[in-house]
Chain A
């Protein structure tokens, strides 16, 4: 009987080794270890054995059974990992082929620059205000200390709707609207972005463009504070090593007034084509809010002072992205827009 068992074990072991699918192994298990399997059949004849032989053979039979089960199990695992290996090999793809394309949406470069400017000032505690694009002459000029017949009106050739209504030529009227609404509350810290319009259309002028006005009024605001605020903005916007330079200028609604230049972002001040070899780029106009403007809007200039500044968004976008022609910004060619 022992020999019988040994023979079965040998056969089964060989079959196991030769099996190449899990199915075959299952068949082997049934054939040898199943209810009607060869091993079971042999064990059924155990009754005929003597009492001495029975435990010996029984033990041996169990060993054979365990051994076979283990062999089958090992072979199953082997085959499984082989199959997985095969599958992986078969499924390997070319990862360099392009991925599924989604439509690439973009914000307009002007929006992106505006967002950045807004963000910088918002983190400095400014709130955003807006005003109408079609504005009263009063807000656009009169209240900004630009009465009728003032030569400064020549600097800003306007689109008129009627004698008293025009397309705003700058974002400065928002100053007046905010002061009027706020007076006498302090502080007033506002950033006012928006579209503005001037009767000019050539390679360097667009009849519509964007400005950001910023202003702060409070007790004890100084020209030095204006410089500090602009320097902070410029360094956040154009890089930590930028310098600014203020030049006296004239705006009817600020006094003292200053044009603000930044050290050229292309050449770092050594002079290049972009900065016309001056090393400086003019980027904004600014000044201390004119006492007349404060008086007209309900603040006492002896108690309150403030600064205001305004910048052209197109100019900043062109500098930032190296755009060489203003007209790209309003042409809406998708090959242009998709670059930002």
Chain B
């Protein structure tokens, strides 16, 4: 809402400056977005009359004007390139010494040999809102009305010596889409006297020659019609134009301007019909008929449907209720009589219609936010009063007021004790009464510490006691309420297993050298094609957004991979080739039961590129085993136990020879591996990428291994090595299994310390070097015992795995 300071002064005795007022409004909950001084940067620009226009002797494109700016002596000679100047015109003149917005100083100038003592201005040069002036006034010199007085500051004439306070209204304060209601608020918060326009109501007598019928009374709770005769269409007075311009509306003619002015003043949208164009002297408020059409004021043929409310005459729709009037019943130069509508329509219906038609107007947005139907009569009468005052027409006696759903007033009791309980204050009943009295609410009854108030219809946001308590707090000042701390007892923090897991995983991942990313929860469904997922792949069972912003953000992710790969893609394209990324976030799987999908917290990791420890150490290529080591370390931190990894070949996005399932005991908790070369190609990656993900939800449900102290061995351990030649197709974990199986409790630990393939190893075989530590908790093992056991293990490996020894 744009509130003109000058306009506001008509209704309230302002004792504060525009800036102070803006601050008070903000602190009272009407947040001021900006305060604009309309004449900002304009100085010594006056109204001038062009007396003469002559061609420039030395330039085709220039003319020489002789301009009277009201100063004694000769008129000023001003050279201009504008083409729309003519003798007799009144125009803004920036005289020598004047300033224009942008700190543009006017000096005496010389144009092709002729001196020029000033500049004629366009609307743009005065920084006037381009939406409010004609194209000609913007591109050429602005022409002023005949009422402009020569020599007067143009800012005064145009009403620019004014401040516009732009208020961002919260949805509960739609009442302040009215200058009068803003004035009420200002009076309450500044303690100033209100000065509202008064009306004579004797127009109630008499009968109008037309009728109003509300068919759809579910969508129209009130319809008032008035008539104004002897219409003299012309411009509205300067003061009204200034008000409209300040509010951001363009003056049209006196009839339309009055309807707009009253709408801004009272919040009640009005519409003027050319009475003689209405068929059957009848207004019918009804739903549109199927396939009904109407040409709206903007000249567009609108296709209506039965969900829309229209204003019709006997034969056809003549207006889309609350949204826009029809062209055929528009007020024109030929109009003799106006039928004025002041009505109340259902806000949802208006909202839907305005959306469907893509038509949003000052009127429709007011109806959507809620208009006070009790104010409809005041607005109608005010319009007639103004039209009469400015000679636009003459009100006809009589009013039609069809009011099927009258406003029901209500009362609210405010208790002092309750107010203090909520606010933490110690107000007396009298103090509270004083605050509310600033709002001018009627006290119905006082009993002990309770006061019963009648809530006025223009404050429909106040519906229960708590709202009055807020008014007390607001009028007292939020910042004066004492600061205290809650007395609630301390409760120890309780983390769920998933929360603890989440925190540990993030901390550990970062400690492992992984950098956390945050990607959108919605992804592009095409990323599944990039991952080469077959149509029936479960990840394609997505939760779809019905109204996405773009196709790229149209489905909820079922995997963290698209986000990680997208981040890799962006970084690679910026030459960031060494990546160690992780994300912890939810994926969304179709619902198992109930209306909501399943949300599962997952960890995703992506590594790629080189790890360069520095100047004297070898560069490491991040690979499968780096990733595997990270997962192992992570899980050991979390569960205290080791993971196992099983090769998987069927994953479309994993390298068939370099993919693994991650298992804890026998439960699959994740997958990892190198990105399939085809997928790597789909993404256009020129380097290998390794990805892995774990389902944290599943891990949180697993038992964490309880830490139990094991006594430190008292007897020495013995180390033995073995180099196993193993066929390539046999996985190394089988050796571990055999060592454990045969060695039993005497094997304290074993470790794979080398893998070799080369000249000494036959093709199709690999050489694995193991170190085994033997130990008995009860005694010292003899060499012989150890050798025997070691040989037994070797024998078993040979037999069971087809291995050989070197």
Residues of A participating in the B interface, judged by any CB pair closer than 8 Å: 97-108, 110-111, 122, 125-128, 130, 132-136, 149-152, 154-155, 159-162, 164-165, 167, 186-187, 189, 195, 197, 199, 201, 207-208, 216, 218, 220-225, 227-229, 231-232, 245-250, 255-259, 288, 290-291, 305, 329-335, 337-338
Contact = CB atoms under 8 A, between A and B. Distances in A.
Contacts, number: 241
Contact of B422 (A136, A161, A187, A222): A222
Interface string B533-557: 0000000000111111100010010
A208 B556 CA distance: 12
Given A132-B596, A248-B28, A258-B478, A207 B520 contact: yes
Chain B CB within 10 Å, residue with most, of A152, A167, A335: A167
B27 interface: yes
B576 A133 contact: no
A224 B484 contact: yes
A222 B484 contact: yes
A102 B510 CA distance: 12
Given A167-B545, A197-B521, A220-B421, A227 B484 contact: yes
Interface in B566-623: 566-567, 570-571, 574, 576, 579-581, 586, 588, 595-597, 599, 611-615, 617
A187 B599 contact: no
9 contacts: A101-B612, A134-B596, A134-B599, A160-B545, A231-B483, A247-B29, A249-B31, A332-B519, A337-B517
Contact of A100 (B26, B466, B519, B617): B617
A194 B782 CA distance: 61
Given A159-B547, A186-B488, A255-B469, 5 more contacts: A127-B494, A165-B595, A208-B521, A222-B423, A256-B478
Given A218-B488, A247-B29, A331 B553 contact: no
A136 B517 CA distance: 28
B645 to A, nearest CB: 22
Contacts of B708: none
A318 B548 CA distance: 27
B483 A151 contact: no
Given A247-B26, A250-B29, A151 B518 contact: no
B184 to A, nearest CB: 16
A105 B507 CA distance: 10
Contact of A221 (B351, B470, B486): B486
A108 B513 contact: no
B489 interface: yes
A248 B521 contact: no
A167 B554 CA distance: 12
Interface string B29-66: 10100000000000000000000000000000000000
B171 A256 contact: no
B204 interface: no
Interface size class of B (residues with CB under 8 A): 35 or more
B774 to A, nearest CB: 35
B509 interface: yes
Nearest to B554: A159
A154 B171 contact: yes
A65 B186 CA distance: 114
Nearest to A148: B348
Contacts of B490: 125
A250 B175 CA distance: 14
Nearest to B174: A151
Contacts of A221: 486, 488
A60 to B, nearest CB: 54
B21 interface: no
Given A133-B599, A247-B478, A332-B567, A255 B470 contact: yes
Contacts of B806: none
